[in-house]
Amino acid sequence: MTQDVATDRQEFSFDELMADDPFEKSLVTNDIQCHGGYIDGEYVSPRGALRRPAIRNWRERLSVADHPLITIPEKYVPPNYPNYDQAKYLLQEGVVEPVTRALTIIAIVEGFGARIREVSVPDFDAEVEESVDGTALAHLASGLFEAHARDEAGHRDQGGHKQMWEAARDAGLDKPEIPDDVLLRLMSGGPPATRKRLYPELSERMESMLLMMTNVLIIETFAEDTFNWAKKLLGDPEVSADPVQAAHIVDCIARDEVPHVDYLTVALSELRARTLIGADGQSTLSGADVIDGVFRRQLRGMATVRPQQSRERSQADIHQAVSDKRRASSVARQFEELDSGWTFPHRDDEELDVLLKSA
């Protein structure tokens, strides 16, 4: 399916990065026409006809220059919470709401992914010593962010991941009642903390973009475990109303995430191999120092805070879903016993393992 695009081709127009493969049939679910489609009975992700070979070519260029790719070792990826056994237990007990809530939150968060198109990209010519011609970096603002936003939130009348997760949830849990406070509770995590600049020498725009891309890359990598969890749970005929369709939709979404992880990895690795110029136009910083510093800090934060928050939220969800207090406590206890437990493998004062693999 990948078009035969010579590896020396490094420049792609906006329209090319949006171009679909010639689908024979599209994915329609929950009465919504979704992105992507089928070729020879196989699901193919949207906007991939040239985006796929483009990312491949940029990665190849890094590899030829012997520059490594950043990566997140599996041991740093927290397992989805609740785990499969816990979620299955709740469904078997008829306590559907916490699982409905968890899947609805995933759908909402996918929709938030559209915000990536609002990231403002710094002036690379002024803020990077080496040229960025023919790189993923040079295409962030001219297609890569936009394609990513469309994949997550849908585009015009076409459903994206937000709508696909809702469809998977509705197929698997048989159109469950959606608690009306999901969005409210999701948004009431307190006001965002004011952020201290990590590299005050850099322009605000450069630092914000790096933080955003790093966060999204970490979330996308953590999501792989969520996909496996959802496929197993919604694909389990003992608890799923439509195991085949529900698991299939999740599988389609998981495939669509591959280019996201790929282009973010390549772009951050390209920057890592370069020299950053400070906002004063004079000072220089090693891209490797900055990217590794941001990456390690964000990874440690997200991998420790999120599992803890999910645990606390799940307990609250169970108590909210089961009105009989004694039964709620007993379900919550049983649920806790199924917890597989996970803690971040490094103490605060320990360096994270080098996050590199060769391109």
Which residues make up the interface to Fe ion (CB under 5 A)?
110, 152, 161, 220, 257, 260
Q: How far is the CB of 219 from Fe ion (least distance, A)?
A: 8
Selection from 116, 316, 119 nearest residue 219 by Cα: 116
Nearer to Fe ion, 218 or 273 (CB): 218
Q: How far is the CB of 266 from Fe ion (least distance, A)?
A: 15
Which ranges of 136-273 does DSSP label H, i.e. alpha helix?
Answer: 145-153, 161-172, 182-187, 204-234, 243-272
Q: What distance in Å separates the CA atoms of residue 69 and residue 358, rounded to the nearest whole number?
A: 6
Nearer to Fe ion, 110 or 317 (CB): 110
Q: Are 5 and 36 in contact (CB under 8 A)?
A: no
Question: 3-class DSSP state for residue 218?
Answer: helix
Q: How far is the CB of 168 from Fe ion (least distance, A)?
A: 12
Nearer to Fe ion, 114 or 321 (CB): 114
Nearer to Fe ion, 14 or 112 (CB): 112
Q: How far is the CB of 250 from Fe ion (least distance, A)?
A: 11
Residues 6+ apart with CB under 8 A from 299: 72, 76, 218, 352, 355
Q: How far is the CB of 220 from Fe ion (least distance, A)?
A: 5
Nearer to Fe ion, 111 or 243 (CB): 111
Q: Number of C-alpha atoms within 13 angstroms, CB side, residue 333?
A: 6
Q: How far is the CB of 139 from Fe ion (least distance, A)?
A: 17
Q: What distance in Å separates the CA atoms of residue 75 and residue 73, rounded to the nearest whole number?
A: 5
Nearer to Fe ion, 135 or 221 (CB): 221
Q: How far is CA 27 from CA 38, 43, 106, 193, 252, in A?
A: 7, 8, 20, 40, 9
Nearer to Fe ion, 97 or 110 (CB): 110
Nearer to Fe ion, 110 or 127 (CB): 110
Q: How far is the CB of 122 from Fe ion (least distance, A)?
A: 23
> Helix 204-234 and helix 97-112: axis angle, to 10°?
150
Q: Write the single-letter amino acid at 188.
A: S
Q: How far is the CB of 264 from Fe ion (least distance, A)?
A: 9
Q: Are 257 and 220 in contact (CB under 8 A)?
A: yes
Other residues' Cβ atoms within 10 Å of the Cβ of residue 168? 31
Question: 3-class DSSP state for residue 358?
Answer: strand
- CA 160, chain centre distance (Å): 14
